[in-house]
């Protein structure tokens, strides 16, 4: 459905007439308290009704536009409505539509607001990781107040941001974490958390699931306690992290293990992936080492180009197995995926790998 929708956007909405109709929806309607485009999409998805003549007219125009595109490309209308009725996918579609309205069809497609915001919610952290780019430890004296954080959420939602990812520090160390997170979900945005996992008890995992957290990424650097704890600076971190992962998986939260790959753990990656499989997580992602913060003086632990190439080929082969999604933040993973699959698969971002359907023509 997503690829079909992207085809529709690329070929069906890029003409001058369609773009003009989309542009008319960028204005804010005081009666509906949202952009006309957003309101018209809600009407199309049977989630709102038009109360003013201008909104009724615009909703009808957008409906004709979408229905025409669906017929041309053979996309089932009810499936389209079902897929985009979920708030996050709907916000994603609207972000692309606004980008087309403002800039036309581009490659890559420009958006009128960031799709994803990574928010270092706090500098407070309960670990002392050697490679921490943030030098996290204590809460900063100038950290935003709760009311300021809630206002930021309002501003990001109004701007059309689709997803917010909490990072840090350790985001669960923020005393107002759940209050701010709840506001994000109330605004219909996707919520992800990057965490060391040590604070995710069974009760916390239940609260995260009840809140509707969409994605949790847990850092794990070695497949054994001795080296992981030494690298993370706190004894017992490894076992607490594993338990945190288990708790998230038990609650049915989409869980990922993230490893910052250096020359210290380069050879351990297959074992970490095997551990991820045994823990039943859905994704493993290899992060590039960024020599900043506490890692500023550790350039020598970064991979050589030859080692990174070897790593990426190994990751792609693991991904081919289908047991777990295996990704990387290295941009050259796209090339390795294309080469290794004979042009069939590509990883255009660090959170997706799929068919290399260049005929889609989308960013």
SS3 letters across the chain: CHHHHHHHHHHHCCCHHHHHHHHHCCCEECCCCEEHHHHHHHHHCCCCCCCCHHHHHHHHHHHHHHHHHHHHCCCCHHHHHHHHCCHHHHHHHHHHHHHHHHHCCCCCCCCCCCCEEEEECCCECCCCCCCCCCCCECCCCCCCCHHHHHHHHHHHHHHCCCEEEEECCCHHHCCCHHHHHHHHHHCCCEEEEEECCCCCCHHHHHHHHHHCCCEEEEECCCCCHHHHHHHHCCCCHHHHHHHHHHHHHHCCCCEEEEEECCCCCHHHHHHHHHHHHHCCCCEEEEECCCCCHHHCCCHHHCCCHHHHHHHHHHHHHHHHCCCCEEEECCCCHHHHHHHHHCCCEEEEECCEEEECCHHHCCC
d(CA 108, CA 283): 26
What is the predicted pLDDT for the residue at 10? Answer: 58
d(CA 172, CA 169): 9
Q: What is the pTM of this model?
A: 0.88
Highest mean pLDDT among 48-62, 100-114, 166-180, 308-322: 166-180
- Give percent above pLDDT 70 in the chain: 92
Quote the pLDDT of residue 6: 55
Cis omega (within 30 of 0) for bond into 108: yes
Tell me how far apart the alpha carbons of residues 222 and 210 are, in angstroms, rounded to a whole number.
31
Q: What is d(CA 341, CA 335) in angstroms, rounded to the nearest whole number?
A: 10
Q: Where are the domains positioned within the chain? A: 2-103, 116-360
Q: How far apart are CA 108 and CA 166, in angstroms?
A: 26
CA-CA distance, 234 to 126, in Å (whole number)? 8
Average pLDDT over residues 21-25: 90
Residue 215 CA to residue 248 CA, distance in Å, equals 10
The residue-averaged pLDDT of 195-214 equals 98
* Placement of tokens 């209308």 in the chain: 77
Instruction: Identify the weakest region by mean pLDDT among 5-9, 46-50, 93-97, 194-198.
Output: 5-9
pLDDT over 80 (residue 203): yes
Please tell me the CATH superfamily of domain 116-360, with its number.
Aldolase class I (3.20.20.70)
């Amino acid at each position: 459905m997503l690829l079909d929708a992207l085809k529709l956007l690329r070929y069906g909405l890029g003409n001058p007439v369609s773009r003009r109709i989309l542009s008319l929806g960028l204005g804010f309607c005081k009666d509906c308290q949202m952009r006309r485009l957003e309101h018209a999409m809600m009407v199309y998805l049977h989630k709102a009704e038009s109360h003013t003549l201008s909104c009724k007219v615009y909703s009808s125009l957008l409906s004709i536009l979408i229905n025409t595109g669906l017929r041309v490309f053979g996309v089932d209308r009810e499936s389209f409505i079902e897929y985009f009725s979920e708030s996050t996918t709907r916000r994603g579609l609207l972000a692309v539509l606004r980008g087309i309205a403002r800039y036309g069809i581009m490659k890559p497609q420009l958006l009128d607001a960031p799709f994803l915001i990574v928010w270092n919610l706090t500098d407070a952290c309960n670990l002392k990781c050697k490679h921490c780019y943030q030098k996290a430890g204590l809460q900063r004296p100038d950290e935003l107040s709760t009311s300021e954080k809630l206002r930021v959420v309002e501003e990001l939602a109004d701007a059309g941001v689709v997803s917010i990812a909490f990072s840090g520090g350790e985001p669960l160390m923020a005393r107002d974490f759940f209050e701010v997170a709840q506001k994000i979900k109330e605004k219909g945005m996707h919520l992800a958390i990057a965490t060391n996992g040590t604070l995710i008890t069974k009760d916390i995992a239940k609260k995260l699931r009840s809140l509707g957290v969409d994605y949790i990424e847990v850092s794990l650097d070695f497949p054994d306690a001795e080296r992981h704890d030494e690298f993370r600076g706190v004894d017992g971190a490894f076992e607490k992290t594993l338990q945190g992962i288990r708790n998230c998986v038990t609650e049915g939260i989409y869980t990922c293990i993230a490893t910052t790959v250096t020359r210290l753990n380069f050879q351990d990656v297959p074992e970490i992936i095997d551990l991820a499989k045994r823990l039943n997580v859905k994704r493993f992602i290899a992060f590039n080492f960024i020599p900043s913060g506490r890692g500023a003086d550790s350039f020598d632990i970064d991979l050589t180009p030859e080692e990174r190439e070897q790593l990426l080929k190994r990751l792609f082969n693991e991904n081919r197995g289908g047991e777990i999604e295996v990704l990387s933040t290295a941009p050259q993973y796209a090339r390795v995926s294309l080469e290794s699959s004979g042009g069939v698969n590509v990883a255009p971002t660090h959170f997706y790998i799929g068919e290399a359907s260049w005929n889609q023509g989308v960013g």
